[in-house]
Amino acid sequence: MKPYREDNEVIIESLKGLKLPERIRIFDTTLRDGEQTPGVSLTPEEKVEIAVNLNNLGVDVIEAGFPISSRGEKEAIKRITSLNMDAEICALARTVKKDIDVAIDCDVDTIHTFIATSPLHRKYKLKMNKDEILRKAVEAVEYIKDHGITVEFSAEDATRTEISYLIEVYKVVEEAGADRINVPDTVGVMIPKAMEYLIRRIKEEVSLPISVHCHNDFGLAVANSLGAVEGGAQQVHCTVNGIGERAGNAALEEVVLSLKMIYGIETGIKTEKLTEVSQLISKLTGIKLQVNKAIVGENAFAHESGIHAHGVLTHALTYEPIPPEIVGQRRKIILGKHTGSHAIECKLRELGFKVGENITEEQFKEVIRRIKDIGDKGKRITDDDVMAIVEDITK
Ligand code: KIV
Ligand code: ZN
């Protein structure tokens, strides 16, 4: 299926003049920031199972965890690195030698090291001045590079940091040998335009590949990640189902499908596996998915109203922006008080009844009437209910 960018006039016009990349790297942090979701704690076995599935899904980087946090965490990361997967395996470390040493011990491909840079974090959390932070960042990057390991450097709370200081931080870590920089919107305060602007400003001064890490406090994590891509970011941090600290992170499935279907930008993700992986994460973390969750939610491709059901049954694109099979879903026609005759006829056919053959027009009208009566009582109508109605009417 073609991306909308190619034939939607509004999108074509709005993106005119923008140089977009052909591919974006997906840095998955389900096992690190995702596991920081309040109440979630995965066993090493569960972490390994998730890592294997993320690798099969096609993510570029798996941030496997924060090894200094516990013995189990370190063991899980070691087990993941021992599997020699295609994905790059990464561990998180503060710019602190003991954190970095534990990460090195896990045999990871990449260490994601971070230190906060915003005035708030400098004053109240780190109690460090700007120069001390610059020094810590450089020391950490040099130490990791001395061990021959790839470094991704994050300025935590980047989006609440003075732009000139933030750029200075990224420039010194570039000189110290960092391989990539990451721009975290740690408390999700950005808007897409601001994110685009910030990435463009950093890109003017720093030559390293730029990654973004957007939190969802205002529900804008995905939009801000896309804004960052418009500004020139080459990698996006995401979590499956958008789980993570507080309101979570940018949802991987939403970022990937928006890039693919709206911008026409590829990732390495095998999108048809998305629903299965989403359900696995929901099962192992115990975090239930809202039914109207975009892309992977139970209702993402469900239709009840007569007008919509008739529309999709006539031409799918009328009320479905993408075919459900692309993301491992299937279309559902839900019966209820809003249902029209087309949807009910379609459901009857699924259940083996054809109007005019084994059910009369009169009986069909009665089925419609009874289904709507049940819907009016606020109930959801199952296939068993439809079978019971038909059997009663045709007996
Ligand atoms: O949100 C954040 O700032 C983080 C850092 C560790 C990158 O998760
Ligand atoms: Zn985060």
ipTM of this predicted structure: 0.99
> Is 114 near ligand 1, meaning CB less than 6 Å away?
yes
Strand-pairing partners, residue 181, are: 153, 210
> Is 213 near ligand 1, meaning CB less than 6 Å away?
yes
> Is 154 near ligand 1, meaning CB less than 6 Å away?
yes
Task: Taking residues 97-114, report their average pLDDT.
Answer: 98
DSSP-derived secondary structure letter, 96: S
State the pLDDT at residue 1: 74
Two tokens at 275? Answer: 């629903």
CA–CA gap between residue 45 and residue 333 (Å, rounded): 38
Question: Which atom from ligand 1 is nearest to the alpha carbon of 187?
Answer: 1
Name the residue of 35, 92, 156 to mutate for ligand 1: max ligand atoms within 8 A of Cβ.
Answer: 156
218-222, 303-307, 357-361: segment of lowest average pLDDT: 303-307
Two tokens at 216? Answer: 């969802």
Chain centroid, CA 175 distance in Å: 32
pLDDT tops 80 at residue 5: no
pLDDT tops 80 at residue 3: no
Name the residue of 66, 114, 166 to mutate for ligand 1: max ligand atoms within 8 A of Cβ.
Answer: 114
Task: Taking residues 10-29, report their average pLDDT.
Answer: 95
Band (pLDDT 50/70/90 cuts) for residue 145 is: very high
pLDDT tops 70 at residue 24: yes
State the pLDDT at residue 380: 83
State the pLDDT at residue 32: 98
- Ligand nearest to the CA of residue 158, numbered in listed order: 1
Two tokens at 160? Answer: 């609440």
Q: Report the separation in Å between the CA atom of 9 and the middle of ligand 1, taken as the mean of its atom positions.
A: 37
- Strands (DSSP E) found in 106-251: 110-116, 150-156, 180-185, 210-214, 235-238
State the pLDDT at residue 184: 99
In terms of Cβ atoms closer than 10 Å to its own Cβ (0-12, 13-18, 19+), residue 7 is: exposed
pLDDT tops 90 at residue 379: no
DSSP-derived secondary structure letter, 235: E
> Is 121 near ligand 1, meaning CB less than 6 Å away?
no
pLDDT tens, 170-200?
A: 999 999 999 999 999 999 999 999 999 999 9
Give φ, ψ of 37 to 5 degrees. Answer: -60, 130
The residue nearest atom 2 of ligand 1, judged by CA position, is 186
- Ligand nearest to the CA of residue 244, numbered in listed order: 2
State the pLDDT at residue 2: 74
Q: How far is CA 92 from CA 44, 141, 153, 215, in A?
A: 16, 13, 10, 17
| Coil, helix or strand at residue 345 | helix
| CA atoms lying within 13 Å on the CB side of residue 129 | 1
> Is 184 near ligand 1, meaning CB less than 6 Å away?
yes
CA–CA gap between residue 26 and residue 24 (Å, rounded): 6
- Strands (DSSP E) found in the chain: 25-28, 61-65, 88-94, 110-116, 150-156, 180-185, 210-214, 235-238, 302-303, 332-333
Strand-pairing partners, residue 153, are: 113, 181
Task: Taking residues 307-316, report their average pLDDT.
Answer: 92
pLDDT tens, 214-273?
A: 999 999 999 999 999 999 999 999 999 999 999 999 999 999 999 999 999 999 999 999
> Is 60 near ligand 1, meaning CB less than 6 Å away?
no
